[in-house]
Structure 1
Amino acid sequence: MVELKSFFQSLKRIEKQMKAYELMDDDPEMKMKALENIIKELDLIGDAALEGIKDATDLLKKIGSEDVGKRIEKLTEIN
């Protein structure tokens, strides 16, 4: 499953890079490096999110739609 800790760590690194970018004067090379680091972190977040989606999809496939339908029916009968 998705580890939220890695998301938060990436977001903290992005925040630091954004602050560094804002503090940089007119050094295009350093600004470019900061932007590259931000893009790398966003890419890592995207990869982790896709992995989480795949895991959730696999779990849904294991449950099967018939089983889900039966569970929903049981829940509606209780109320």
Structure 2
Amino acid sequence: MDLQGFTYYKDHWYEASATSPTGGPWHGEVTICAKAVDGRSIKIFEHEPVPGQYFSEGEAWQHARDYAEKLIDEGRANPDSH
């Protein structure tokens, strides 16, 4: 799995993004990967929606980053948590 463009954080990699599909409020999404026991990279969350709607792309992106790190910190993004 190519993790280029992902951010490394506490033995995980995440990608935060922001979208405004209808030209209205912005929404954040995160994809989080971790390393499996056998060394492979596996996706834990893929395009997981971030709660809330935001007024700007930057705000949605920042909330997506924060949400990804929160999921990792809380242990909800571990390979054995799913």
Structure ranking higher in helix proportion = 1
Computing the radius of gyration from Cα coordinates, the structure with the larger value is 1
Q: Flag the structure with more relative contact order, 1 or 2, with Cα contacts below 8 A and sequence separation at least 6.
A: 1
Same fold by TM (over 0.5)?
A: no
TM-score where L is the length of structure 2: 0.29
